[in-house]
Structure 1
Amino acid sequence: MPHAHTVEVLYHAHHGWLTGWLRRRLGCPENAADLAQDTFIKLLAARETPQLVEPRAFLTTIAKRVLFNHYRRQDLERAYLETLAQFPQMLAPSEEEKAIILQTLVELDQLLDGLPRLVKRAFLLSQIDGLSQGAIALELGISIATVKRHLTKAAMRCYFAL
């Protein structure tokens, strides 16, 4: 319970300031409010809150991570919608299917976060585009053995994340 109390104290003392800080970066009060809430949810999800000498610096660090993930999700959504626009209207998924696919892409992106770009690319070419290891090797200009190592590395990341 002390952890929740600490987060509550931080929330009451700094929520307004954090929302304003995010608003200046985003230019959108609604998104700023959402991301401020997400920042405090991250704190609540943590096992404990460290002793804070500079609470605003601490909140800023967490909010920057939340903001980065927000921008990353926007980039993913934009790329997904651009790809969808290339398909004939009759093949377009429903709004519900779009939301599910986008959420799956975001989760996959989070799972693969931190892997080298080529490892991610090889994995996505295999899993999303359905390319064979030989085709991936040609596409990326690497050997089939390297493709196998990349796919194993990405698959292990996903397996251990689950």
Structure 2
Amino acid sequence: MSSSPSNSSLLHTDVRNLYSNHHHWLVNWLRRRLRNAENADDMAQDTFLYVLGKPEQVAQLREPRAWLSSIAKGLIIDRYRRQQVEQAYLQALAHVPEQDMPSPEERLILLETLTRIDALLDGLKPNVRTAFLLSRLEGLGYQAIAERLEVSVSSVEKYMATAIRHCFLARASL
């Protein structure tokens, strides 16, 4: 569905008004939560970048601050999770011999891939997530996974079915 020039102009006006009316409030809200002015400014900008991708939702807003804070909370969680993935990746790299160390470009690609996998698996119960990762990343069979997790093979089968269904639905919603 394409918007007409006048409709598009109204959407841009709505976004501009949302920014003008709520940017300062959002920055202050983020500063209280993040305790860092620079991170709060960055996160506010990230929030409004997200909003720019959803201008049609702005016109329908009844509670703009609730919507903006919800977006910002999600972005904070995403940033925190990315930092956790990055930290785990750097710890793993510390054990890699110098001659096997990936290039900076490869490290960035690997980190991005790990972050996407982490986001894709978000919401799975720990045993389901672990079973899936043991199967796909370490190549373990269901029996070995069952032994490692101290569960039955039929539980591993259920975990894998759940994880595969979750991944399929997550990919379909992208």
User: Which TM-score tier does this pair reach, normalised by the shorter chain?
Assistant: 0.7 to 0.9
CA, structure 1 residues 53+92, in 2 after alignment: closer, same or farther (shift >3 Å)? same
Asked if 1:68 is matched to 2:77, the reply is yes
Asked if 1:32 is matched to 2:36, the reply is no
- Cα distance per residue 1:82-102 (max 9 Å; x no partner): 111122122221111111111
Aligned to 2:160: 151
Aligned to 2:133: 124
CA–CA distance in 1 between the matches of 2:99 and 2:41?
Answer: 37
CA–CA distance in 1 between the matches of 2:135 and 2:38?
Answer: 38
Paired letter, 1:33: D
Q: Residue 111 of structure 2: SS of its match in structure 1? A: helix
Tell me how far 1:55 sits from its aligned partner: 2.6
- Give structure 1 regions of 4+ aligned residues with deviation exceeding 4 angstroms: none
Listed as ranges, the gaps of 5+ residues in structure 2 are 1-7
CA–CA distance in 2 between the matches of 1:134 and 1:60?
Answer: 45
Q: Share of identical aligned residues, percent?
A: 46
Q: Relative to structure 2, which stretch is displaced further, 38-47 or 140-149?
A: 38-47
Aligned to 1:108: 117
CA contact (8 A) 1:39 1:63 kept: yes
Paired residues, what number?
162
Q: Residue 39 of structure 1: SS of its match in structure 2? A: helix
Larger radius of gyration: 2
Paired letter, 1:22: L
Aligned to 1:13: 21
- Cα distance per residue 1:29-50 (max 9 Å; x no partner): 4432332122123323335236
